[in-house]
Amino acid sequence: MNDASGARSLWGGLRVAVLALLWGSTFLWTELALRGLSPFQVTFTRCTLGALVLVVACRASGHRLPKGAAVWRHLLIAAFFCNALPFALFSLGQQTVDSGLAGVLNATTPLWSIALGLALGSERGLRPVRLAGLLLGFTGTIVIFAPWQTAGANGWGALAILGAAASYAVAFTYMGRTLVRRGTPTISLSAAQLVAASGLSALAVPIGGLEAIDPGPTVLVAAVVLSVCCTAITFHLTYRIINDEGATNAAVVGYLLPVVSVLLGAVVLGEDLSARVVLGMVVVLAGVAMTRRQGTAATAQGATAQEVTAQEATAQDAAASRPDPEGHPTDTQCALSGNR
């Protein structure tokens, strides 16, 4: 049991690291893509190419897109708050806000997530050490970027990015409450949600995306990397974390994004790593470690409870392990698959 818990924790940490690396590079690729595309064109490209990648992956893995009006209604709402709206707000905001301040504002997502969780009652078991880790992580992001030293930090661009961070928190909570652990594979959910986001972003293109594009090599590479790596792969990993560990743990990844942004700035742009930045990164990592340690314990307990419940349900009704006439997995299958 200890070995299983350790393997689960290691795998969860690896997923968070990959997610942070890909997600943290979003600011760089978005800035490059904006050199030849409008904000709404960047949003539409991210959603469309990302959806294509995930639909192909879904079919290749033997799964189908979900069916049913109720599921697609939830997917449409989730697509708006998790994809179409924040992608557009980040692209709009980065026209006037530098990447440093954007990273600080995006790192508020876990705080929004905690506030929503407390308001909705899903964070009743929140312990002081976990809350302290969240606050410590946010403090670290402020130390890294020192927004009080940035000129022109205020304005509509900053508000747009702050709105995107809050939108992520709303989306993670909504996805955790209405979509995951309900019998549909996460690859099917993530693919379908980006399909829905593509439709939503297409409606917005005429508003401000009919400008002439400049498809230079840098813009094209940035758009492809942003769509495939920073949208399709990242979004599916986010869904997996929400499914396995909850919405708050998915939001905690936001604390690592400023660290990735600083390292990319040093390696790609030749920016200096000051003592203040190094100290801030240490504080961020310490805060994330505190939140994940607490979250892992809760996840392990939840997985054990799900296993017991699934075993009891199977003993009471053997038919629960068979798919329904429409081919959808039963709740028992969902519980068992969620622990694999």
Q: What integer pLDDT is reported at residue 263 of this predicted model?
A: 79
pLDDT tens-digit readout, 202-256: 998 887 767 777 788 999 999 999 999 999 998 888 888 777 777 666 666 767 7
Side-chain half-sphere of 241: how many Cα atoms within 13 Å?
30
pTM attached to this predicted model = 0.73
204 CB neighbour count, 10 Å cutoff: 17
The one-character DSSP state at 18 is H
Q: How far is CA 221 from CA 36, 202, 226, in A?
A: 11, 21, 8
Question: Is the distance from CB of 58 to CB of 191 less than 8 angstroms?
Answer: yes
Q: What integer pLDDT is reported at residue 328 of this predicted model?
A: 46
Question: Is the distance from CB of 230 to CB of 22 less than 8 angstroms?
Answer: yes
Q: How far apart are CA 204 and CA 231, in angstroms?
A: 19
pLDDT tens-digit readout, 314-335: 343 344 444 444 444 444 333 3
Query: Helix H segments across the chain?
Result: 2-24, 26-33, 39-60, 69-79, 85-93, 99-106, 109-120, 128-145, 156-178, 186-208, 217-227, 234-245, 247-252, 257-268, 275-316, 331-337
Give 148's pLDDT tier (boundaries 50, 70, 90): low
Q: Is the dihedral of CA 213, 214, 215, 219 positive or negative?
A: negative
